[in-house]
Amino acid sequence: MKPETAARRAGHRSVPHTADLRLEAWAPTREECLAQAVRGVCESFLDLTGAAEVRRRDVVVRADRDEDVLVALLEEVVYWLDTEDEVPVGVELTPVTGGVSGSLRMADAGSLPVTGAAPKAVTLHELAFTRGPEGWTCSVTLDV
């Protein structure tokens, strides 16, 4: 499904990009769009089928712009992958002033089948996060 036809639906997809991961996500709400971006990043390098939650991590992400909230949230994903070998398999977010708060349901990345290169950093290249008549869309590039 294409982002422009995403009315009342949510999703994500990888977009071809030289040597990096380019991801688009869409959803009716800002928080769902952020959750779809997190899910898309994790599914880009792991098979999450059957992933078991090992813990929950509370997050609060604040920034001046929605694009920066997206970057900060994805940086959380990269941080937990790098430091604890964990990835979110579920994301629950609620709006707060200047950002989002929520819970990440984490799984042990080492217990999941690897399907691609893990992200190393979030870039600002062609970063976008917008609200349109049919909901929210975002685009982001990650170094792998």
CB 119 within 8 A of CB 45: yes
- CATH number, domain of 123, equals 3.55.10.10
**Per-residue pLDDT at 12:** 78
Amino acid residing at 84: E
* Number of domains observed in the structure of the chain: 1
Amino acid residing at 55: R
What is the CA angle 99-81-14, rounded to 5?
75
**Per-residue pLDDT at 3:** 46
- Domain encompassing residue 104: 3-143
Q: How far apart are CA 99 and CA 3, in angstroms?
A: 23
Identify which of 8, 113, 18, 127 has the alpha carbon closest to the alpha carbon of residue 71.
127
Instruction: Give 10-residue mean pLDDT values along the chain (144 residues).
Output: 54 70 96 97 95 96 96 97 97 96 97 94 94 95 92
**Per-residue pLDDT at 15:** 65
